[in-house]
Structure 1
Amino acid sequence: MQINSIELENFRRYKEEIIEFPTGLIGIVGRNGVGKSTLVEALAWCLYGSDAARTKQDEIKRSQAKEREKCRVIIELTFESDALKIERILSGKNFTPSANLYLNGNPNPHVSGTKAVTDYITHRTKMDYVAFITSIFARQKDLDGLTGMTGATRRKTILRLLRIDQIEDAIKMIKEDSKQNELQIQQIEKYVKDVSILEKELQNMQTQVQIRQKSITINQKKVNILKKSLEEHEHRFSILEEKYVKHQEINTKIEGLKGLIQGHNQEKITLTKKLDESLEAKKVLNKLKPKLDKFEKIKKIKVELDSLELKFTEKSSLEDQLKNCKNKISDMQTKISSFHESIKSYGNLDSKINLMNEELRKLEDDLNNQKQQQNQIDSKIFEKASRKNELNAELIEIQELGDKSECPKCKRPLEDTVEKLVGIITQNIQSITKEIDSFTKEQEIILKHTDNVGKQITLKKQEREEIENQIQIKNNLLTKIGENTKILESYQDEEKTIQNNLFNFKGINYDKAKHEEIKSEFQKLEKIYQNSIALNEHVKQIDILNSQVDLVGKDIDTSTKQLHSKNTELTTINFNETEYQKVKGKKYEANIEHQTNRENLIKEEQELLQVKDQIQQQENTIKEEKQKQDEIKKIQSTLQELSTLKKLMIDFKSDLMVRIKPQLAAKTSSLLKQITNGRYTSVDFDDDFTLKINDEGINHNIKRFSGGETDLVNLCLRIAISEELSQRSGGSGTQIIILDEIFGSQDERRKASILQALHELTSKFRQILLITHVEDVKDALPYVLNITENPDNTVSIEEEGTLPIPIE
């Protein structure tokens, strides 16, 4: 694999950058925290998606980028004989991911979708994200960690780097599967039943079926005989039942006719009595005629007087309303005048409130200025205090470690410069302390002035609030004047309306005494009139009652003839009640016997069905038990296969461990010999991968050597691991290695040796990316990507050197 270019758009702190990568040794240089390692993250994220991101998805996009702008990484690389272009994007406010992969310059995507692209890269390189980043990326802290670990931890870490731990995981999974299979057999055996016992129970059930079938056949014949006997009794009973029904129908009609005749007779008596009462009412009505004529005359006079009384009452009510309205008009005029007087007493409040607001604005501006000064001083004090704390921490660390401590900036040993550095730090602390004291005094003066201005503002606000209350009262009075003026106008309109209504009642003459006399006489005659109405109703009924009496007499004659006819018909039926009840009893007994035997037969048939169901269930149970036995045999076979597989995996791991150590030692030795110019020629490992370095023919533990030499050996080991992984990945491997800050403990001579070795390693690795903050190594690199920070918090990349012609 060879990286040809990376294009970044709004990724982390990169706004828009296009970086070309040649073959050979490439330096990525910039101060700590500027975004050098972000390039490695961008490479991995473009290839493998969200698994490679060190933060949540919504934090990948540059924070200053607009919502409509995309976060995008495009990588062009050569893998084996193919040219790949991978594009991964985050879009919109929800950071929606998308990805495309183009092959050999084809404008149409070869693969689309985030998961599809990741799966394609994983399949093509034969490495997932963890394997890829492990094989190409090495950091200084990882190099230091290998020798500082305990033997067991170091062995585990190297096996993980070499991905041999996956074999142990596979063995563990085989053990877990075996345990689960054993538990499954135990669980099945816990509920297994004896099939021979179940089959014997099945035979007993089948015998019961045969016995019950014979019993059902006998009972079926008995039920058929009883059914025939029941049908004979039912036929005889049906003949008698027909006579019984007809006999009952005639009897019912005879009783109905008797009741009807009796009712007609009673009705005739009632009608005759009503007719006599109506004739008597006619006589009384003729005597009352003179008084009824007088009632009509009095009634007419009363109606006229009632109308006059109503108008007189309405006129009196209007006069009272007019008087009340005049009083309300007078009261409202007095009220409005008092409001006008109250408004005059407040004077010109608008000019007062404007003057007060201007004074308050000046005081608040003064207060805000003082607070801004105070915030600026607080910020300066905090900044100085933070710097003082940092210097104190550095001073304590240097005093504790002495000449063995490292420089806070370059991380090199201080040795004989400790006292000089302590003096400089102490002077800086004293200088900062004086500055903090000066800022504190200035802060106290501002606080006093701020407190005084705050009190003045409080007093002015109280005065303004009092004036605002007066303005509110004045406005309320003006509102009330408007409201009451409208009410006054409505009262005046009401007065005019009442006066117009009174004009319509002019000239009314009403005699109350005469009205009372007429009402008294009307009440006496009205009782006679009401009585006459009832008498008239009786008189109207005379002709109707005569007709009804004649009709009832005819109905009595007709019903009497019908009663005689029905009595004659009843004697011709020849119905015997005793014979009917006897036959009915025999039919009932036959029906009970037949029903009882039929129910017993149904019960036996149901019991037979239940036994057959039990047989089916038993057969199913036997089948299930045989399946359980087969399943146990199958699981036992699987257990045997897992046992064989576990032995093979253990043997494979042992064989791999025997072969991997010499290979890893040989690669590490070759690199070490090359970097040290033959000073150290070989290394070896014990069982815990503890490094033994050959010095003048004798193997020594790595702890015997200096920190720089230790880091150098660890670097060679880490590169050897990457080379081993690259070769074991299949195909042509990645042929890329990225080294992050590997010069931490090396002197200038060692740096030069490492750089020379890296130049020579380009024959084994197509591209070596060297990430460092050490500026003076740039001159030794043929091609450098210089990363710098911009004022807007973005970062830029400058290319230094000449791009070599790519190797095809």
Structure 2
Amino acid sequence: MSVELEFEFEGILYSVVREFRGKAMSANAKFYKNNSLTTTGAKEVTSAIIKLTKMSKDAFMHTLFASQKELTSLSTLKNEDRKKMIRKLLGLEKIDFVEKELVEKSRELKREIEAFREVLLGEDEIKLKQEQIKESVTVKDAIAKEVLSKNEELEHIKLRERSIKKELELLSKTKEQKQKLFSELELAKNSKSSEILNQVKLSAELHQLEHKQEELKKLEPVKAEYTALQDQIKEQEKLKEFHLKKEGILKEQTLLREQYTKSKTDINTLERACEGYEEFVLNAKNLELNIAVLQESVNAKHTIENELKAEMAAEQKQIDITNAKIAKLHELGSEGACPTCTRPLIEEYDNVINSLVTVVNETHQKKINEHNKQLQNVVTQKAAFEAEAKVKEKEFSELINSIKVIESKLQDLKNAREYFVHVEQKGVKNKEELKELEQYGYDEKLHNGIKSSLTAIEAQYKHSLSLETELKRLVLVKADLENVTKKIEELKATCQNKETEFKLIIYDDVKHKHQLDEHESILKTVESKTALLNEIKV
């Protein structure tokens, strides 16, 4: 939904378009100056209009704008109501509200003044109060002098308290420093002891590793022999694999020969079973055509049969109509009217009846008899065609079943030929692989002998591997031992320096306690003096 407003200001044409979009009816606006877009956005357009007209929305509504409804009702109002309406249009109703509030507050203040008049003092009471004030001032001066004296005494005590406090702070710092140095000294001594213990452990471990290093040198030939035996084992395993593969191929070749013979026999059997397939298919097509021709003949005879029955029914209907006329003439007698020309019959009565009977017997009945003969011939021919069609359909069904059996065998023949080709190709491939494997020989006794030799030295080989793993720490242990030795020397120097610093710090514990007691006593005196001074001031 959108609304567009055009207005002219200072000779320039402006237009505002405000829109509400979507289900949420979100507001948007555009501001044009001489058909050129200058501002977009609801708030931005409002600000631009206020800046242009130098007038807010409320000012515009109260000065230049009035709704049609308000202007219409203005002419029908009484003088007092019209005055209220005009003040509302001019925005003066806020001033009326403020004026009313001020009047109410003025009345309330007058009431309060009248209420307090009863409790105000008289002239005699005022003089008495002035004398009491002078006496109070004299007493206050005396108290002020006493307070000044007490303040000086209190300041002297506080000065002493601050002096003692500084001495206590210095003693506390000295104590903390000495305790800190003592802790650092103890920590350095403990660290030195720990490092010495670590040095002993590392030295023992280094000695063990050096011994294992000598042992590993003695086992180097065993390691080389074990590696060579492993290579020989791998070679024998490979030869064994070739040997097993060769045996597997030979067994497979035996099976393939059997499958080859069987597959060839199956193919010959299936080929004999599928002989005459094309002849069966041709006979089926011929039978299908014969059945279609017979069915067309049956349909043609059926059409003729229906046509003959329809003609016989029409002739029978004419006979029924003529017999009805004859019956009507018998009922009317010779005095009746002719059914054709409606004249009285009189002498022609018998002739008319005989004529109608002749029409029935010689014309209509004769045609019915002829049609009946034709119908019997058609029905007989139709039955013969249907019987022949049934025989042909039975023969066709049997032929189709035979064709399906042969087609199934043809599929089997196709699969058998494919399998035969597969067996043949597999046999050729196996022969090629056997030819390649002939160059490899495998000796099981030699293989087992190498395994026994490998097993005999395996424990020594594993021990050498474990020694190699342990000796990886040799370099690290040497480096750690060197670092620990350096650290022990550093800690020895640190301990000597800390001991020297500790002895240089002078701290008197008895003096510290005495100063703490004195400081606490002075604080209690300051507290009591301050309380007394506050009581005097009160």
TM-score by length of 2: 0.41
Considering Cα pairs closer than 8 Å and 6+ residues apart, tell me whether 1 or 2 has the greater RCO.
1
Greater per-residue helix proportion: 2
More strand by share: 1
Give me the TM-score of the superposition, normalised by structure 1.
0.29
